[in-house]
Structures are given as C-alpha cells and as structure tokens.
Amino acid sequence: MKRFNYGFFHLVFFLISLLLLGSGLSMDPFSYEQSLKSECVMEPPQTTSNTEGEGFEELKINEKRGNIKVVERVDLQKGNTYSISASVKLRNDTQRKVGMTLRWKNGKNVFGGEVMAKKACWSLLKGGITADFSGPIHIFFESNDLAAAEIHVQNVRMQRFNKTQWRLQQDQLIEKIRKNKVRFQLSFHNKSTVKGSVIYIEQIKPSFLLGCAMNYRILESQTYKEWFVSRFRLTSFTNEMKWYTTEVVRGQENYTLADSMMNLAEENNVMVKGHTVLWDDQRWQPSWVKRIRNPEDLKNVTLNRINSVMKRYKGRLIAWDVMNENVHFSYFEYMLGGNASAIVYSMASKLEPDIPLFLNEFNTVEYDNERVGSPVNVKKRMEEIVSYPGNKNIKGGIGAQAHFAPKQPNLAYMRSALDTLGSLGFPVWLTEVDMAKCPNQVKYMEEILREAYSHPAVKGIIIYAGPEVSGFNKLTLADKDFNNTEAGDLIDKLLQEWQQEPVEISIQNHEHNDEEGRIVGFSPEISLSHGHYKVTVTNPSMKNLSTSFNLEITKEMGHLQEVQLVIDA
C-alpha cells in the first residue's frame, strides 16, 4: 500500500487488479481478441465459432493444384461481413507469403488477406470480406511465387456477421480494451461515517485521441482556429514540415509556417505528430534535390535535413514520421544504398530517443487488393529497420494512412490488417483518414473509425479533414459559415462518445469497520475510459471538506481497479 501526503488530508491509494489470464496467439479466429503476437504452431489450431456471429461453417478444399487450393462455392449476402480463417504452411520453401483471394463468376477478385507462411509450422491466415453484392464465390489460397511454393491448407472456416452483430462486437471490444472497471473505498481518519459522501470524477486527458490534421490556412482564419482548438487535442501538419516546404532553395531554410503552426498548437494544448522527416518518393523531393546525381552530395544534404528539422522541434512532438512511404518507394535506397531507411531511423532515434518513430504507408488497411503496401510487407519493412545493427531498441511505430475509396470498406480485411501490423508490438496509428465524397460517406466513415477504435493495436487516429475554408475537400466537416456538415456531426459525436463524461457517484450504505476502526463505504462499480482524471470528494455534512487528487486509469491495471481513499476530515 502506497501512502501519499496531500497536506491537510491523508490519502491511501490502493489498487487491486483482477487480471485476465492468457497470452500468446488466440487460435479462435472469430473471438477477435486481436492477439498482437505472431506465432507459428506445430499443429493446426482447432477453432470454434463466435457466439456473436452466425452461420459458422467448416469449408472444404475441393481442388488442389500444388501452390493453389480452392474452396467449395460459398454464397454471400450483400451487407454481411464474412470472417474467414485457415491454417497454412509450406511444403518445400522456408518462408513465403500465402494469400486468400475471393473470386466470383464475372471474373472480379477481392483479396481477402495474407500471412507469411513457413515450412515447419502452421500459420493462421485471417481475413474475409464485407460483401457489397449477393452471389456465389470461390475462395482461393495461393502463394505469391507460382513456381516455388507448394502450400498446405487446413481448417478453413467462415463466419457470417450482419451489421448489428459486427457493431455489437466492436462495442464489446471497446468496453474491454479502452475502459476499466473502477470502484472506490472511502473512509475518514476521524472515523466519521462516510454515508452521503459524493465522489466527482472528471477526465482531464483521455489516453486515446481522435485528432485532425491542419494546414497553413489555420493561420489566416481566426474562426478556423477557434473551431479547431475547441475540438481537437492532436494534430499533424499536412505539408508545412516537409522538406519541399522548409527548403525550397538549397541552403535557404524557412520554417516560418511550421513554427507558427507549432506555436499555435502549443498555446492551445494540442499535441503534434511530426510529418515527415523524409519522403522516399522521388516525386516529392525539393526540386533541387531531384537534380542531384552525386550520392555523396545527396547524403550530405539528407544528413543536414534530418538534423535541421529534428533538432528544431526536439522535445516538442509526440512522434515523428521518419521515412514516409518507404515500402512503396525506395528513392534513398536507390541513391544511398539498401540500408538507407534503417540508417535514417538510427539517426532519428539518437536525436529523439523517447518518442515513437513511425513508418507511414498507404493502402495498408484501406485497399484489400494491395500487393506492395500490404500489411505483411509493411511489417517486414519495419522488421528490417529494427534488425539493423544498433536499432534493436528504437521506439518504432506503424502509420496506416487510411485514404479509403468511396465505397463499402472491407472491415474483415481491415481487422486482419491491423492484427498483422500490431503483431510487432509497436503502436499502430491511422494517420491520414479520409474518403472521397459519396452518398454513404458518413456511414462508411463511422464504420472505419469504430473498427480502428475497437482494435487494441491502434493507439491514435488523425483524420484528414476540416472546415471548408481549410481546403480539405474530401472530408469536409463544416461549411463556409462553420455550420457542421453530416461528417462534422459524426466527428463531434465520436469525440464526445470517446471522451469520458464527468461522473458523480455516491457512497452506498453497506459500510463496515476496517482493522483500525474506521468506517468504510463503497461506491458502485463504474466503467471509466483510460486516461487522466481529477477526483473530488465532498460530504454535505462536512462543509469544509472538498478534497481533490489526480488518478490515472490504464489498461495495465487490469480488469478491475479498486481505489482506497483514507481522508483527513
């Protein structure tokens, strides 16, 4: 028991954690524990259905062609989400990607998921489809190398979820991973009765933040600024920190815009995620950098860029995108050598050792037919970076940009993609979330944001959005007069829902005496979102009593957190 002296009162702060047991990989693909460990097991896992879904099926392989396995026909119904899993391994290759493709008679394909399969053990491939059509499909499991890998597939299983069931599952996961049960015990040193005491709980800062990008137009519009800071506590700048903005002419650095936006954020308690130190796409280098042909010259200006921007904002950011889009592109690797990204992360870690250093990619969770920026490839790239000599202990992070197409998102694929990205143990963020306008944009955006929030690997979300004056023309949250659009109403609703409302609870009548003779009363058990809180204790019969203290609720404290308060009164 820890004792803290708060002056005129005495507080005993006692935490009891009832921990949930279990570790490793959940072998029930429909339980959606979203285990964050990748394991390869000697025997194919036996799976069971999730009680929240329906239509649990064991699917049979009815065609085998060495490196291709075809599942019997399955009929899909529009609007349902189908979670599909299989155990896969290789026969004659050490390691290779195995993917799941859903095909129907008109020739259209949807990529349902993939896993890095191995020879000596079974890997669990998870994925599926949110159907935007009704009709029959076949499910293909195949290697990405048609000549080399013969694959084994067992235990193919599918479960159907309607929209209500999927949403219920999301809500249950949110309750489990974003909140804790808390109960207060209260007593007074003078052994007075605690009956009638009131505990007021106010969240100061949530652990999970839904943020919004900003651009230079916020410096030109006081109304935009007021609109932004009244809502958001997390941001990133769209272009203002990028190299092509801060050094248009070689040797002439200009951080005016970034500095002004940084000052605005700090003055209004808005945290900033840096974007981006470097960009691995040649098209988005400063024009003068594109003209450099000498690798040594490029190396020197690159080193100057890293030192310049990171030292300027050292200690002021909560994270950095270090090498943007270095799975899709490889400009610096081509010019400076294959380890260029790893070396840049090594330098960045020395300059900012205490914040996450992100790899930031597109099409990773939002596009199910992606092959280059797939979750397996993004994970592999991050593994290469941290395995470089000296990089073992860097604080990594994975950013999924999440620029969704204007259509029904594949939530089953998104969930399995987040599973894969989270399996390294680094924080996963959705960093640039948007969707082009379409009739169901708000509905789809809510599905996407709730799916991310309900996944334990996801530690933050930044949307690429704003009022009309900001120029964000895909996800516009307010019109020219700053009246909310439907998308703006959605974001306001989620901001309110995901931030804990103030709670006032009374000490109940069931009291007992502790070993020192003090009368102890108990509050009801309540559910609180993770974050920092101010807790105030009052009692109507003690007019001079109003005692406050700070409390942090974290997932590490277990399923039930019991707080014991012993107060001088």
What's at 348, amino acid-wise? A
Q: Report the 10 Å Cβ neighbour count for 492.
A: 13
Q: Are strands 198-206 and 503-506 parallel, antiparallel or unpaired?
A: antiparallel
Q: What CA–CA distance (Å, rounded) separates 58 from 540?
A: 62
Strands 357-361 and 319-324: parallel
- Residue 213 contacts residue 248 (beta carbons within 8 Å): no
User: Interhelix angle for 441-453 vs 163-177, to 10°?
Assistant: 40
Residue type, 114: E
Q: Secondary structure of 116-134 in the HEC alphabet?
A: EEECCCEEEEEEEEECCCC
Structure tokens at 189: 């040193």
Size of the chain in residues: 569
Tokens matching residue 463: 């949307």
| Number of other CB atoms surrounding residue 29 within 10 Å | 28
Q: Are 59 and 75 in contact (CB under 8 A)?
A: no
Element (H, E) at 165: helix 163-177
- Residues 544 and 546: their CA atoms lie apart, in Å, by 6
H/E run at residue 386: helix 375-387
Best CA proximity match to 203, nearest among 460, 512, 488, 526: 526
Non-local CB neighbours of 544 within 8 Å, separated by 6+ positions:
none
Question: Which tokens is 525 given?
Answer: 């058990």
Of 321, 343, 348, give the one whose Cα is nearest residue 388.
343
Provide the annotated active-site residues. Answer: 325, 432
- Partnered with residue 203 across adjacent β-strands are 533
Contact 290, 243 (CB under 8 A): no
d(CA 421, CA 397): 10
Q: Alpha helix locations (H) across 230-339?
A: 243-246, 256-267, 287-290, 295-312, 331-336
What single-letter DSSP state applies at residue 248?
S
Q: 463: closest CA among 448, 479, 485?
A: 448
